Structure 1
Amino acid sequence: MTTQTSLLRTTLVVTIAVLIGAGSLWLHFTRQRGEPGFTAGTLPACDSSYTRKLLRQTIEQAPASRAVGLQVLRLGFMRHHFDGVRNTSQLPARVCEAEIFANAGRRTLGFSLEWTCAEKDEVWLSIPQLPW
């Protein structure tokens, strides 16, 4: 094997490695960011991990919950009741129910998921039964 063939082979390998590395970086920096488990345009399921996280945050960050020091210990069952359309916005909405275990006791709460805008890239979770 000559030195020229070896140099050509090394250059080819390095070039391919650089292209693969550049492609990987491009994919990493251009993929869509957002919450894990959330896809824009698709209303999350009642029992999805995204909904569970959003429900916990909504309860714990509500002013009434903060005033009494309410903390969610865990979430039990989560059920889907029905899908509908909001009268005012004509956007899809989903009505759900969840069992909440908190430092103030166990409770079953109804909540709804709906889009905040026509782009369907942000979800609003509403719990009418708060405060606890």
Structure 2
Amino acid sequence: MKANFPHPPQHVLEMLYHRHLGYGLGQSKDTFWGFRTAFDALELSVSDEELDRYRSHFIEMGWGQFDGKKDPNFAITSLGEEAARQSIARRKPIFSARRLRTYDWPIYGSAAAIIAALFSIAAFYQG
């Protein structure tokens, strides 16, 4: 999939997320940004065909909402914001508190409970 994009979509999402926060696009549901304008502001030169592929990918991933196909206005969805935050945090060191906040702790908590139960059973049989 990376071969279809001149810039990795996840990286573009992160850049748009930073712009999104910097220009206050998250302040209301009625605030949008021109998709082509966003790419130009980020100094990412893409053809119209590539821009359309980005648009389709963002829709497929649930990262953005658009008001049309030809020169669409764009807003990052909450799913897009979360994906950008996780991608940014994962580049942090493993011991970083910002990285730890991105993991799905209920899954890890369940795994920990299962492991604890197995150790309890093992201790019971040994004792």
What TM-score, normalized to structure 1? Answer: 0.21
Larger radius of gyration: 1
User: Structure 1 or 2: larger helix share?
Assistant: 2
User: Structure 1 or 2: larger strand share?
Assistant: 1
What TM-score, normalized to structure 2? Answer: 0.22
